[in-house]
A and B are shown apart, each in its own frame.
Chain A
Amino acid sequence: MTFFKKPKKLVQTKNAPENQDSSHETNSQDSSQQTHSQESQPGGVQNLSLNEILTKVKEPFSATEDLLTHEIELPSDKSRIALLYIESIVDKQLVQSMILNPLFVTDKEINFNSFKQMASIDLKKHTEMKQVQELLLQSNTLIFTDDTTCFYAMSTPVKTQRDITEPDNETIIRGAHEGFIENLSMNLALVRKRLKTPRLTVKYLQVGKETHTTIALLYVDNIANPEHVKEVEKRIKSIEADAVYTPGNIEESIEDKPFSFFPQMLSTERPDRVAANLMEGRVALVYDTSPTAHVMPVNFFSFYQSVDDYNKRWHIGSFFRFVRIMGFFIAMGLPAVYIAIVSFHFEVIPFGLILLIKSSLEDIPYPPLFEALLMELTIELIREASIRLPTRIGSTIAIVGGLVIGDAVVKAGLVSNLMIIVVAITAIAAYIVPSNEMSAAVRILRFPFMVAAATLGFLGIVFGFLILIFHLCKLYTFGSPYFAPIAPLNLADLKDAFIRAPFWKQNTRPKDVTAQKVDNANHTRKWDKS
């Protein structure tokens, strides 16, 4: 960007009102080039002719053919203007209706100056020549005039967003069926719609030197702990990479313990989940081009909360919450317990059952560990295949996987009936978790448990859980304990961990978030107290 030298003299023309609308120059994203811009401060556009400028502007874009230029002579004063935009990301109809129509269709008297005043909201004046690239890539249409000290930009993005639909991986029965989409401003709108407070703060951050991925950092100013906000911002700003494609890239760049199996940020596609977490004092990251949002800091139990819980009657919500936590233990431990029992401690099986189990196991050639590994891997294969396959073939996989393999494997005598039951229950229990990441973590973790059970029996399982609990207790995310409210124990916060206490009991924010305001001013049912 050195081809524009520092201007020797500002070309001051007679257009006095022009300076008034320079107030729109609000881009604050050029932080990385701060030093450079100081050097060319008064403006990068030099005293060059319009043609020369256009040539120079196009230069960095190599030979891309979707960068279009329209040169127009205005009918009123015969002045020339040039429109510059990247065809593929600009809505041409918008260009037509917002720029060209006002210039031509209306009054003959119109010239560029009066146009500027008409369109002053969308039209922004820029003088920094080095912003040209960025603006073009952000779907702006640039307008160059004979006055080459500055140029104008109008945002004309092409509307390619899909409809707002319910996220497939987080469906609920009752409650809002809206989900994030691949458009940042719409995603923010979905959150703002739920939190109509002036204290909801949005901070735009950009990562990726080439990709310029935009991230919005959301928090509620008077609730969220400023330390958390600062920490998240710091970590994101420290990302230096040419390309940051997915939220997963960012997650891995800023999480505390990258080697842990457990997700340390809650990924969700539900704006209501994000909004509720923001009001608990957490911080959220919302992405452009991805429907996934991240919430942090979270604890273990956040992954077991579902929006559904809060829309059910509280007893029922509590029951299903409890069932989910049970699901964690079943998914992690059941195959291990089965292996331990049939290969070490079969005396714990009730007498009425033992002969049944024994006769189903009698002719299985493999040790239980191998049997279990075989079936667990089969289940994972079926799962993975059914994700990749188009939905129409998906049901075929269900039949082939479920019926044929399940039945044939038993009939062939490779795996016992009981193992099939255990694997099936385990698989169901693993998918009970409302969070896909946590479910994956649990599914991976049961393999070490199975090995431990096959080597040491129940003792091995105990060791496994010990190590697991050590890890969970040691884990901190963004400075707050992951296994709260169990460790450190906070009895009051258990109201939203194992059970879902009624709304009128939930009148404090969780302690582990260290929110600025712990009391959430939840005083309902006052009418009942008279």
Chain B
Amino acid sequence: MRKILSLLPVLLLLTGCWDQAMLNQTKLITAGGFDYTKDGKVLTTAAVPQSVAAEAGQGNIVNQIFSASGNTARQSRLRLDRRVAERLDASKNQIILFGEAAAKKDIYQLLDVFYRDPKSALNAKLAVAKGKASDVISTRFEEPKMSSGVGEYLRDSIRSAEESATVPKENIQTVCPVMFDPGQDFALPYLEPLKKTVSIRGVALFHEHKMVGTIREPLSVTYTMLTGEKHTIAMSTTKKIFTNKKPELMNYVTFKVKKNKRSFNIDVTPEGKVSAEIKLKMKVVVTEYPRDNLATPGEVENVEKRLSKKLTKDANKVIQKLQKMNSDPYGVGRHVMAYHYPVWEKLNWKEVYPKIDFKASIDVDVIGHGIIE
């Protein structure tokens, strides 16, 4: 026993450390993008920040963009690895972008890699880019902090869009169970590269693994409201509630949601007819109302009435679009599956969903009008 024990330290001298992953011998991917090449291969693009100056903390970061193609996502990653000097590591990845064409094909096939690797960053954001993902990643953006890089810039852009409720909060992990749920779908941020910036244009709707359409920006806030999101830091939007005022900007009101209460009713008749209704009760604060006179109760009532009407109209527009795209992000199908399983079994949900009676109504209650009387 003693002999064996005394031999143990010798193990340290063996060619160990095979599983070491030294931080200073790794290249960290902060943003990854997937596209398909013309011949159907997966094209992976990765942004790797590289520090330039030796002095820590003051160093400038230069983004290096690498890309490689392969038959599968993993193969392209491995090829990518061969193109860079050190080992590539995706554990600090901030965002994964899909080119619109790739998203319309199937995103699970590309994401599979991330669900199998224990080191992958499950909190990385997902987004769909108009055009090619590789174009977005290799754009030289004006804004990114010198210390971070494109990954952080894109992530922060999406985060600020989430805070203003333009897009729902999703990442690799939250998307996974929904992706396999036949009764529910999801939506991802949809962004468009401009010359030197990136703009979040709304949400890209998915059905199963495929992107099926988009809802553009002002309407996408209504989409997020309908998900029942309680309130984000600044869930606010501007709506046109008058049509006849001059100048034009007098027609608008901007408000910020303080409280959002959703009731979601789904009725299934014995014959198997499904109808759904989302009712929102919102408490809002008016943050911009050029017409003023909000101090009078009559005016407030007027605004409430017109705002409710307008928002209800918008909400129904969103739902119409969703039904047209056959995307069910509110989970009507999930509800039917859970509470009316015999009915669900009989239905072919993909075909039924676009035809169900699905309505929404939004009731607005103004609880504040800013600090002026």
For chain A, give the interface size range: 20 to 34
B20–A362 CB distance below 8 A: no
Q: Complex formed: what's the CA distance from A282 to B17 in Å?
A: 49
Of A265-273, A339-347, A478-486, A500-508, the segment with at least 4 beta carbons within 8 Å of chain B is A339-347
Interface flag for B21 (CB, 8 Å)? yes
Check B147–A342 contact: CB distance below 8 A.
no
Residues of B within 8 A of A417 (CB): 56-57
Given contacts A351-B94, A451-B12, contact A343 B54 (CB under 8 A): no
Question: Which residues in B have their C-beta under 8 angstroms from that of A363?
Answer: 24, 54
Does A367 belong to the interface (CB within 8 Å)? yes
Is B23 a contact of A355 with CB atoms below 8 Å?
no
Asked if residues B17 and A358 are in contact (CB atoms below 8 Å), the reply is no
Inter-chain contact B61/A355, CB cutoff 8 Å:
yes
Interfacial chain A residues near B61, Cβ < 8 Å? 355, 359
Produce 1/0 per residue, B226-258, CB < 8 A to A. 000000000000000000000000000000000
The reply to whether the CB of B168 lies closer than 8 angstroms to some CB of chain A is: no
Q: Quick check: B23 and A342 within 8 Å, CB to CB? A: yes
Contacts A351-B94, A354-B92; is A362 near B152 (CB within 8 Å)?
no
Can you identify 10 A-B contacts, CB atoms within 8 angstroms? A344-B19, A346-B92, A347-B92, A359-B61, A362-B51, A363-B24, A364-B24, A367-B22, A413-B54, A454-B17
- Say yes or no: A356-B147 contact (C-beta < 8 A), given A362-B51, A451-B12: yes
A364 to chain B: which residues have CB within 8 Å?
Answer: 24
Give A237 to B121 CA distance when docked, in angstroms.
66
Q: Which residues of A contact B19 (CB under 8 A)?
A: 344, 457
Secondary structure at the A interface, as helix, strand, loop or mixed, is: helix
> Could you tell me the distance in whole angstroms from the C-beta of A418 to the nearest C-beta in chain B?
8
Interface check B291, CB cutoff 8 A: no
Work out how many contacts link A and B, with CB atoms closer than 8 A: 78
Which residues of chain B come closer than 8 Å to A360, judged between CB atoms?
A: 56-57
Map CB proximity to B onto A389-417 as digits: 1 under 8 Å, 0 otherwise.
00000000000000000000000010011
Tell me the chain A residues, 209-252 only, with Cβ under 8 Å from chain B.
none
Distance between B25 CB and nearest chain A CB, rounded to angstroms = 9
B152 CB contact (under 8 Å) in A342, A346, A351 = A351
A362 touching B16 in the complex, CB below 8 Å, given contacts A355-B148, A356-B56 = no
Across chains A and B, which 3 residue pairs bring their CB atoms closest together, nearest first? A360-B56, A359-B51, A347-B91
Given known A343-B22, A417-B56, contact A355–B12 (CB-CB < 8 A): no
Interface presence of B189 (CB below 8 A):
no
A346-B23, A455-B12, A455-B16 known; A358 and B28 CB under 8 Å? Answer: yes
Say if the beta carbon of B293 comes within 8 Å of chain A: no
**A-facing residues in B48-67 (Cβ within 8 Å):** 49, 51, 53-54, 56-57, 59, 61
Closest B residue by C-beta to A367: B22
Interface contacts beyond A358-B24, A359-B61: sample of 10 additional A-B pairs, CB < 8 Å, sorted by A: A342-B22, A342-B23, A344-B21, A346-B92, A351-B152, A354-B28, A356-B56, A356-B147, A359-B59, A457-B20
Q: Does B26 contact A (CB under 8 A)?
A: yes
User: Is A342 in contact with B24, judged by CB distance below 8 angstroms?
Assistant: yes
Interface size of B by CB at 8 A reads 30
Min CB–CB distance B51 → chain A (angstroms): 3
Query: Which A residues touch B21, using CB under 8 A?
Result: 343-346
Chain B residues whose C-beta falls within 8 Å of the C-beta of A368 in the assembled complex: 22
Tell me which of B23, B54, B119, B121 contacts A358 (CB under 8 A).
B23
CA distance A343 to B89 in the complex (A): 13
- A358 to B26 Cα, complex, angstroms: 9
Question: What residues of chain B lie closer than 8 Å to A359, measured between beta carbons?
Answer: 51, 53, 56-57, 59, 61
A150 interfacial by beta-carbon distance below 8 Å? no
A429 within 8 A of B: no
List the B side residues contacting A454 at CB < 8 Å.
17
- Bound Cα distance A360, B54 (Å): 7
Residues of A close to B20: CB separation below 8 A: 343-344, 457
Instruction: Give Cα A347–Cα B124 distance, bound, in whole angstroms.
Output: 13
Query: In the complex, A457→B92 CA distance in Å?
Result: 19
Measured CA separation A349–B56 after assembly (Å): 16
Q: Which residues of A contact B121 (CB under 8 A)?
A: 347
Task: Give Cα A354 to B147, complex, Å.
Answer: 11
Docked complex Cα distance between A351 and B61 (Å):
14
- Note all chain A residues with C-beta closer than 8 A to B22: 342-343, 367-368
**Cα-based distance from A353 to B76 in the complex (angstroms):** 29
Q: Which B residue's beta carbon lies closest to that of A416? A: B56
